[in-house]
């Protein structure tokens, strides 16, 4: 088949697999037509979300403990685990990962985060680890279907949330034992303290600010100095475990620094000589992971929209269905439009990340910002449409509203996303 330009391919609605096959390195293709594989994965995950997650959601939200049986069920069908995640990542269009996340979080966000929280650590290992480290540590993040494990990514600290340059956890190298020694306190770590594999961001040289940071693997099964602090009781995502993590002379072998010690020493030497750090690479990694988080927010928003639509078509007041009032029908129209708009931004950014496009306008941040704000707004609208029922725990929309709020906070708050976008479009150092 001859080469078509991207807009013609888009309007023809070509199957993604065909379109991607015809793409050249200089002319990547974007299409909204899902491949049969993508549709199959979507329907498979939707089935799990509907049959396993939805019926269990309220119970685990109330209990606020890690839903190990649900994670195990996901592992048994291959939805949770190394092979599953590798298959979702492998899709050359980049759309499978957001599709999977949207369906899971449509099922339930707390359970969804219990299943997907491990990918934060996995993404750091894939992004920064050597081939050997990836092969060794990623299977350990997931365990096996008979003995499932989770993993934690620990960057935030009590005084370093948005401003990661303030990280105080230190990693010092002990030449006598050939070990790293970590000390500090991590805050709000998803799966913190219940994981074996903890990826910990620590400062190797405080004077270099965030350019002196490195990522370390601290496995609880091998290291006495890592312990769980207080478990956090939360507004939403209550089935997902969040806790402080303490590092108290936590000793790990030299080669547990991601990327290897030699590479780290070279990088630090370059920075000390005043050479430019590879901040663009880090920026690209964040931009590529943000759409996945946005897709989770869209799953919650879609759940609330669908529920409110059905309710409005059933509920009668003043002798007519409440949806027959324009104010209700228009609210639902706006919800549908905003959710679809957010999904388009998420899919565009996912496709850009997977096909190696430059995020010149911080398109990844745009997608996460829009999706998080749409989810918070749409779930509030859904409560409103359900009236008094929406405010009670007899109906799921209040849970979805509680779950949605975190999407304007973690993985960079809405203000931080706006700063990133503003800097990208202006080239100025906006504060």
Phi first, then psi, for residue 340 (nearest 5°) are -65, -40
Binding status of residue 70 toward ligand FAD by CB under 6 A:
no
Kindly tell me which residue out of 16, 189, 217, 378 binds ligand FAD, with binding defined by CB under 6 A.
189
Q: Quick one: tokens of 426? A: 């202006």
Residues paired with residue 154 on neighbouring β-strands, in sequence order: 200
Binding status of residue 155 toward ligand FAD by CB under 6 A:
yes
Q: Based on CB atoms, which residue is closest to ligand FAD, 198 or 354?
A: 198
With CA atoms as reference, report the closest residue to 43 among 75, 72, 79.
Answer: 79
Residues paired with residue 197 on neighbouring β-strands, in sequence order: 219
Kindly tell me which residue out of 183, 409, 422, 423 binds ligand FAD, with binding defined by CB under 6 A.
409
For the annotated catalytic residues, the residue numbers are 411
With CA atoms as reference, report the closest residue to 158 among 149, 168, 148, 173.
Answer: 168
Binding status of residue 134 toward ligand FAD by CB under 6 A:
no
**What is the C-alpha to C-alpha distance for residues 266 and 280, in angstroms, rounded to an integer?**
18
Binding status of residue 66 toward ligand FAD by CB under 6 A:
no
Kindly tell me which residue out of 17, 170, 285, 413 binds ligand FAD, with binding defined by CB under 6 A.
413
* Smallest gap from residue 120 Cβ to ligand FAD (A): 5
Kindly tell me which residue out of 114, 154, 293, 295 binds ligand FAD, with binding defined by CB under 6 A.
154
**What is the C-alpha to C-alpha distance for residues 362 and 423, in angstroms, rounded to an integer?**
9
Residue that has been written with the tokens 């329907």 in this structure = 43
Binding status of residue 329 toward ligand FAD by CB under 6 A:
no
Kindly tell me which residue out of 251, 277, 410, 423 binds ligand FAD, with binding defined by CB under 6 A.
410
Q: Identify which range of 49-57, 74-82, 148-156, 338-346 contacts ligand FAD by CB under 6 A.
A: 148-156
Q: Identify which range of 64-72, 88-96, 319-327, 412-420 contacts ligand FAD by CB under 6 A.
A: 412-420
Q: Based on CB atoms, which residue is closest to ligand FAD, 120 or 323?
A: 120
Question: Helix/strand/coil (H, E, C) string of 278-327?
Answer: CHHHHHHHHHHHHHHHHHHHHHHHHHHHHHHHHHHHHCEECCEEHHHCHH
Task: Tell me the site size for ligand FAD, rule CB under 6 A.
Answer: 19
With CA atoms as reference, report the closest residue to 237 among 61, 50, 68, 48.
Answer: 61
Residue that has been written with the tokens 């099964």 in this structure = 221
228 to 247, contacts with ligand FAD by CB under 6 A? 234, 237, 242
């Amino acid at each position: 088949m001859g080469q078509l330009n991207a807009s013609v391919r888009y309007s023809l609605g070509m199957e993604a697999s065909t379109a991607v096959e015809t793409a050249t390195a200089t002319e990547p293709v974007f299409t909204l037509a899902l491949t049969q594989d993508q549709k199959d994965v979507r329907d498979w995950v939707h089935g799990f979300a509907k049959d396993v997650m939805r019926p269990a959601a309220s119970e685990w939200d109330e209990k606020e403990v890690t839903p190990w049986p649900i994670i195990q069920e996901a592992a048994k069908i291959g939805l949770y685990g190394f092979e599953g995640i590798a298959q979702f990542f492998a899709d050359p269009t980049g759309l499978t990962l957001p599709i999977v996340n949207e369906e899971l979080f449509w099922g339930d966000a707390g359970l969804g985060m219990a299943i997907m929280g491990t990918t934060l650590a996995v993404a750091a290992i894939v992004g920064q680890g050597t081939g050997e480290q990836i092969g060794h540590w990623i299977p350990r993040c997931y365990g096996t279907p008979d003995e499932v494990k989770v993993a934690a990514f620990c960057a935030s600290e009590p005084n370093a949330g948005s401003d990661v340059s303030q990280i105080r956890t230190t990693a010092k190298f002990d030449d006598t034992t050939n070990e790293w020694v970590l000390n500090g306190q991590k805050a709000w770590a998803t799966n913190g303290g219940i994981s074996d594999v903890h990826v910990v961001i620590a400062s190797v040289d405080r004077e270099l600010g965030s350019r002196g940071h490195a990522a370390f693997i601290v496995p609880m099964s091998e290291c006495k100095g890592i312990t769980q602090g207080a478990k956090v009781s939360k507004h939403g995502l209550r089935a997902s475990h969040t806790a402080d993590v303490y590092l108290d002379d936590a000793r790990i072998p030299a080669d547990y620094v991601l990327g290897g010690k030699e590479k780290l020493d070279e990088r630090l030497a370059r920075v000390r000589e005043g050479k430019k750090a590879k901040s663009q690479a880090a920026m690209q990694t964040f931009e590529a992971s943000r759409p996945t988080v946005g897709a989770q927010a869209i799953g919650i928003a879609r759940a609330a929209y669908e529920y409110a639509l059905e309710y409005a078509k059933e509920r009668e007041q003043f002798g007519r269905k409440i949806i027959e009032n324009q104010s209700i029908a228009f609210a639902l129209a706006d919800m549908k439009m905003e959710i679809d708009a957010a999904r388009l931004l998420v899919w565009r950014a996912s496709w850009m990340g997977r096909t190696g496009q430059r995020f010149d306008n911080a398109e990844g941040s745009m997608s996460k910002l829009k999706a998080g704000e749409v989810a918070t707004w749409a779930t509030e609208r859904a409560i409103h449409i359900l009236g008094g029922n929406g405010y009670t725990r007899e109906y799921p929309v209040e849970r979805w509203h509680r779950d949605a709020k975190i999407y304007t906070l973690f993985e960079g708050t809405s203000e931080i996303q706006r700063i990133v976008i503003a800097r990208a479009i202006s080239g100025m150092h906006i504060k």
